[in-house]
Structure 1
Amino acid sequence: MSKVSPLTILIVGNGIAGPILAMALKKVTPHNIILVDAGPEEALPIGAALGIAPNGLHALRFIDAEHLVVDKGGKLGYMAIRKGDTNKTLTEQPVSDLFTEKYGFSGYGVVRSEYCYGLRALAKERGVDMRFKLRLKSITETDKTVTAHFTNGEELSADLLIGCDGIHSPTRAYVVGEDIKPDFANASVIVGLSKLTKEEEEWLNLKKGFNMHLGSNVGVGVFPADPDGTWGWFAGFHTVDPAGGETAWGNDHSIAELTKLAQSKIEGWQNPVPSKVISKTFRCFPIPLYDRQPLATWHKGRVVLCGDAAHPTTPAGGQGSQMAAESAIILARLLAENEPSDELFKRYASIRHPRTDWVTKNSRRTVNTFFVPTTGMWQAIRDLAIGLIAGFVFRSGFVGQFGYDAGTVSL
């Protein structure tokens, strides 16, 4: 039973953190929740597939939403890293049964759009007031309220505004006091979805798991995104910062052009999996990789940040959506027991900072290890290190990271 008085809370951003936070608040508080998004309701979320680890499923379990992944996702039976150019296996570790025994869940791959649509539908079903085509322009505050001003001229006032509006968050700009550009990670990825028949999977000897393939200046990951032959893939490689006006893919974002570019990065590889999977693409996007330096504070007055707006990370570490879900659950639990205050939001940030800061740094290291060009000597050292320690890292749930449960951790 919540100990707080009813408030009106406006959540900006209906991606992953937004609907999870809305459902968590509906579960544990008496607050009135309004969830707004800049795009139209039918807009397709950018991206292809996501990896959801056990800690992400723990967060979803808090709002009884884990079925969106467990029922519709592709179970990751093992994790493997191979040399794409030579087809040498550096490490391969069965993990599904191990993770289920240790953490209660396996890891899964999911189609990003299906996951986001599922979260939205569930939030709407549970009574969240959801509104679209409201792009945030500015924020103003008084002693008693915060008001969001939108580009279409509409305004909404609330007791609290929570920004779940991503790495390019205008809410973050308000909290920080200026719109600071994110840091480019010196790499970009092309992400895609492909459809394979059972015969093609058998011919490739492609088992249901996370398959990472490394070359001299590119890394290609392949993993199941549903139980029915949909595979997510990404090809990461060094690029200049697209914010400077130049991109590796030019102005052509067609499937033909993007898959051609991805195939050019793996030309001559002995491992047939990346090329075959890329050739079967039915959806793909180019995504430059950015993150940000950790913020000292995640709030200003009646405005607080959550998810990528607070702690954006590159997707290379596979934990961005998990961190967003965890932060949403932690914030909801705190608001169930406490009235909003500077002290509360400082506590929220202090609980999350050590974990999200580590993930951001680790994700950047992963980009540098897998995607950024290196010398032959460094590659040899990298491959040796993977062979020696990657199995332990996998078996340990990434050194205990997968055991975190945002729904039960002490606050």
Structure 2
Amino acid sequence: MHDIRQIRENPETFDAGLARRGVEPVSARLIALDEQRRSVATRLQEGQNRRNEASKAIGKAMGQGDTAAADVLKAEVALLKDTLPALEAEEKDVAAQLQDALAGLPNIPVAEVPDGEDETQNVEVLKWGTPGTFAFTPKEHADIGPALGLDFEIGAKLSGARFTFLKGQMARLHRALAQFMLDTQTASNGFLECNVPLLVRDEAVYGTGQLPKFSEDLFRTTDGRWLIPTAEVSLTNAVAGEILDAATLPLRMTALTPCFRSEAGSAGRDTRGFIRQHQFEKVELVTICRPEDSEGEHEKMVAAAESILQALELPYRKVLLCAGDMGATARLTYDLEVWLPGQQAYREISSISNCGDYQARRMNARYKPEGAKKTEFVHTLNGSGLAVGRTLVAVLENYQREDGSVLVPEALKPWMGGIEKLEALA
């Protein structure tokens, strides 16, 4: 959500920022709606004030025996009572139009975000690790996995496409990855573990920006709740409507949850394998902080996600997303892309975004700076630390052996109960 006052003060700058995301100029329309709203609000306030004044004057006139003056005043009050509801309705309607128009706009990219329309124009920041060499042609996870317990057929039988059934040591490896990630983010990286609702109200998905524009990417229950697409929704909205004590900031939270996405906008992409699922698990990282701290917190979150890949010795690269490839709520995003030898490509495994005050304005989440009289909006940040299923894919491909087995990364062994290698199910 954007601040209409800043748009009024710098309309050209606002339109230029949105243009980087392919949005046509809208400041003139927004300012016109705001002027209309303020004009109606002024007329409404003036009418209410006059009604109150006239009502008091009626009593005074009656007390003085001036019935003629009292009758004139009564007629004026009666007329105001008839006209004020229409003004109230008009103000509400125009305010809703302005709110809806603002809510449908993406965040403004910060200056360091590169221009570009899609992922081909993202900028590589660094690479970590060296892709391993194999004495054989490495396979993709969809070819390795079924013999080891990655069952796409049962998943499809139960639920349709993009659902998978994990069995035996494969299920154990998936659980170990999730536990390893959660333990690392809490014990080593300072995030508070949370257990959050998976079903949320409209207000929650509106607060983090999935509504109103991206409802088709979500699943909705028959009672009107939404299945979370990521724990970002629950964690970030924990501060919705709150005025936080500055001394408590930053708040760093993490949660391991199932996530549910319709993948409506990804028809035909990654239909084979375990990369793009309707249901998957992810360790989410969320930070709530003061505006002056958000840049530093962003770097800490990126480092926290990188620490998992480094511990697992998975080669990856860090990418700065261009304006056209960022999510709507972000003003700056780094992606981490892990190396998949079966595909001979780097694929996204984490996306860490600084949203500035965009979500905070939607949620009305504020804090009171020490010694200040007025409150300010907090900044919110979110990212994956990591997506469990995609990390499983990376382990399978990077640790595969020619006989079809997969070695367990050293960092995971304490969570694997003595299992050091995944082998074909009996």
Same fold (TM over 0.5): no
Larger relative contact order, structure 1 or 2 (CA cutoff 8 Å, min sep 6)? 1
Higher-Rg structure is 2
Q: What TM-score range do you get, normalising by the shorter chain?
A: under 0.3
Q: Which has the higher helix share?
A: 2
